[in-house]
Structure 1
Amino acid sequence: MTHKELQSYRNRFEEIKKSDEPIRTRKLASLMSDLELSYNIPVFAMAVYEKNNPEVMALYREVSNARTF
């Protein structure tokens, strides 16, 4: 993970937040999937992964919390 890659995901998140529903939530779900694949985020939260990747997990949680159900 590089800072530049993570910043790219952050920028994408900021653009998605400007979208209207229901497209916004679909794009957020897609972003979460991309983060999971790019950073090998485990399906079940693992304390070790979170400790070693705090910036990734902070963004992942922020994206997750921005979704509307």
Structure 2
Amino acid sequence: MADRKSLADYQREYEIIIFADQPKKDILLAGLMNEMEKQFNIPFPRNVSWERENPKINAMYRKIAITRTL
């Protein structure tokens, strides 16, 4: 991962991906989630404390997760 992306960068990518055909859309969304997990150190399993400290990141990540059909 060469450059760090901003949350706005992830939002822009998301807005492009949602118009892709299935199953490509799910694959691209999963990749976006994996990238966010690494960049923002998103914990697994869920960590309520982390979510409270990072509400914007958490909201974007959950929006992507909800959009997926897998």
What TM-score do you get using the length of structure 2 for normalisation? 0.90
Partner of 1:49: 50
Q: Percent identity?
A: 35
CA RMSD of aligned residues (A): 1.0
What TM-score do you get using the length of structure 1 for normalisation? 0.92
Map 1:1-69; keep pairs closer than 5 Å: 5-69=6-70
Q: Give the paired residue count.
A: 66
SS of residue in 2 equivalent to 1:30: helix
Q: CA deviation at 1:47?
A: 1.1
Query: Structure 2: how far apart are the matches of 1:67 and 1:6?
Result: 19
List alignment gaps of at least 5 residues for structure 2: none
Q: CA deviation at 1:68?
A: 1.1
Q: Write the letter of the residue equivalent to 2:68.
A: R
Q: After TM superposition, which residue ranges in structure 1, 4 or more long, deviate above 6 angstroms?
A: none
CA deviation string 1:27-68 (max 9, x = no partner): 000000000000000011111100000000000000000001
